[in-house]
Amino acid sequence: MRAGNQARSTGSVTGRALRVLEAFSPSAPVLTLTEISRRTALPLTTAHRLVNELADWGALERDPGGGYRIGLRLWEIAALAPRGLGLREIALPHLSDLARVTGENVQLAVREEMSVVYVERLAGRRSVPVLTRVGGRFALTPTSVGRVLLAYAPPDVQEVALAQRPVRYTERTECDPVRLRQALAEVRHTGVAVCERQVTMDSVSVAAPVHGEGNEVVAAVSVVAHIDSVQGHSLVPLVQVAASGISRALGATPPGSPASLPLGAVRGSARR
């Protein structure tokens, strides 16, 4: 259960404060006090008191237009999360190398319950448009990072995910649980996921697992490219090398990982 759902079910002071924070979204980054009251179903006086307390602490900031927006204090706290910005800082040099070599979208993601959460995304200048954003959530099964994370998740998590009604983003989005189960088995066999036209009709994504201490899969790294400009299999060694580099930086030694080669060298060999 997410914090927002817990907040709605408790009615405690903490729960009501979380409801205020949850009212903000990418489509509504700035809200007036009246809008916060309406979105949270809190009385205007209660919303006013909570908003003032959150603003005093730094969780909210006043917008020049008179509304409120999320404050930088929350960003400071979020930076302490090892699966969030801490992971991002360790991974960023490898992600930057991968973005430089491919010129495409590069993403780093973790699994949170039944969703993918994107920790970082680097966009190439001429890369294909994507529907993801840093800090955003997305479905597991249509994305290459999601399939990697689900393939290495506990069996009960896989069963719950496969039992859910999937969202069909394109005419090619795979929604059949039998074929999805086969796709997850293929990921575990090959150590990589390749998804073509699953989220948008003009994209292909390739992902590989990132291992932490104890060699458990803690994240996934991917490249998303225009399907007409690149073959998905040509991206596989590049993504695997980046994932292995991040894994080693996290203290893991992934079994069967590619040799420690510069991405440029791997790119050259992938072309031959």
Query: For residues 209 and 217, what is the distance between their CA atoms, to the nearest angstrom?
Result: 6
| Ranges of each domain in the chain | 3-78, 85-271
Torsion of CA 137, 143, 148, 150, to 10 degrees: 60
Residue 133 identity (one-letter amino acid) = R
Lowest mean pLDDT among 40-54, 78-92, 133-147, 226-240: 78-92
Identify the CATH homologous superfamily for domain 85-271. GAF domain (3.30.450.40)
β-pair type (115-122, 217-226): unpaired
On whether the pTM is more than 0.85, the answer is no
Burial of 230 (0-12, 13-18, 19+ CB in 10 A): middle
Could you read off the pLDDT of 174-209 as tens digits, one per residue?
A: 999 999 999 999 999 999 999 999 999 999 999 999
pLDDT number for residue 270: 46
Phi then psi dihedrals of residue 139, to 5 deg? -65, 150
Could you read off the pLDDT of 74-112 as tens digits, one per residue?
A: 877 776 666 655 788 899 999 999 999 999 999 999 998
Q: Which two tokens stand for residue 40?
A: 């949270």
Tell me the chain's radius of gyration from C-alpha atoms. Answer: 20
Domain boundaries 3-78, corresponding CATH code: 1.10.10.10
DSSP for 206-220, please give it: EEEEEE-GGG-EEEE
Q: How many CB atoms lie within 10 A of CB 14?
A: 11
